[in-house]
A and B are shown apart, each in its own frame.
Chain A
Amino acid sequence: MVLSHAIVVYDLVVLAALGLDFVLVSRRSTAVIPRVPAVLLAVLLGVLVPTVTDRPVEFAAIGALVLAGALFGYANFLAFVKRGITFSILVNHARPPNARRPDGDFITLEERIAEMRGHGWVSGDTAGWTLTASGRRVVRVRRAILRALHIEAVG
């Protein structure tokens, strides 16, 4: 298979596999990391590389870029559709005012603290939470990105 055809085939398989995962598995769960499709697609990439007759190294590089990009984007997409505050607010505001929840409920701070604890960004207990060294690094990196790209933070 020539390089361009192999890329098109692999791209389509990646998009189809993640679409299928969403419809069959991820839509009904609360998980945001698609482990099974990630492993299968990585294996497929390894299988396809030797079949590319011209520039297999370039194919491997493009495949890795596409796979990493797709998985990262898909995980963020899952987080957005499963935990997105904006979607929650829109659904809430589609109801009559007397049938709505307070919008602040959707922020679910306790879930965020649990998430930070899971990532190792905070330590402590219900009496008081503090940032770990890892958490401080994350905060510094985020601030640098916001500054460099002039991004408005609305989190």
Chain B
Amino acid sequence: MIFASILLSAIGTIFLSETLGRGKVVYTRMTTLVGSCALCCAAAGYLVTRQGGGAAEVAAIALSCVPVMGAWLGFRIHVSNSITLELAGLLEDGRPRALREIAEDYDVNGHTARRIEILQADGYLTQDADARVTDTAKSRVILVLTRVLCGPGGPRAVADTLRRRDDGDGVV
């Protein structure tokens, strides 16, 4: 019963958040995902208590949903945002390409501009040409989180790669 409830809550959350999100990048609509999860866990908890379950069963369902939704979130972001998967798609035609050709076909500037557009549309960056980080609570939270989670220089592996490249040691 608990196993089935966890699965149903997770499936319900995915269905609800994807329906409401209409294919948008998931990290720009986290409130929808968290709200959908809370709603589905509450519904599952209600059904379990109606069948004689107690607070421990409800807690077990809600807590177990967290890692399952974490997995979904990771999978969903990976599928939509993975540059590696996008590059793999470029090579599907079978034509061998050197790194320079891959960079041209991938359109690095176009993809970067698209990410900035998404951040501007979601209020993290200003709409002007400078595209500065906006002075809002959610931007401040994201910046603090980024510094805490990633370190002061931003994502560590990216920073390391750029450092190696700057030192002339980053060629594949």
Which A residues lie at the B interface, using CB under 8 A?
2-5, 7-8, 11-12, 14-15, 27-30, 58, 61-62, 65-70, 72-77, 79-94, 97, 101, 103-117, 121-122, 124, 126-131, 135-136, 138-139, 142-143, 145-146, 149-155
CB < 8 Å A-B pair total: 280
Chain A residues lying within 8 Å of B22, measured Cβ to Cβ, are 150
- Chain B: interface residue total (CB-CB under 8 A): 90
Closest chain B CB from A114 CB (angstroms) = 5
Residue B30 lies at the interface, judged by CB distance under 8 Å to chain A: no
- CB atoms of B154 and A113 under 8 A apart: no
Q: Which of B58-112 contact A (CB under 8 A)?
A: 59-60, 63-64, 66-89, 91-92, 94-99, 102-103, 106, 108-109, 111-112
CA distance A137 to B145 in the complex (A): 36
Bound Cα distance from A93 to B18, whole angstroms: 30
Complex contact B3–A72 (CB within 8 A): no
CA distance A105 to B162 in the complex (A): 7
What residues make up the interface of B, taking CB atoms closer than 8 Å to A?
2-3, 6-7, 18, 22-25, 27, 53-54, 56-57, 59-60, 63-64, 66-89, 91-92, 94-99, 102-103, 106, 108-109, 111-112, 114-116, 118-119, 124-125, 130-133, 139, 142-143, 146-147, 149-151, 153-162, 165, 170-172
Task: Please state if B96 and A107 are interface contacts (CB–CB under 8 Å).
Answer: no
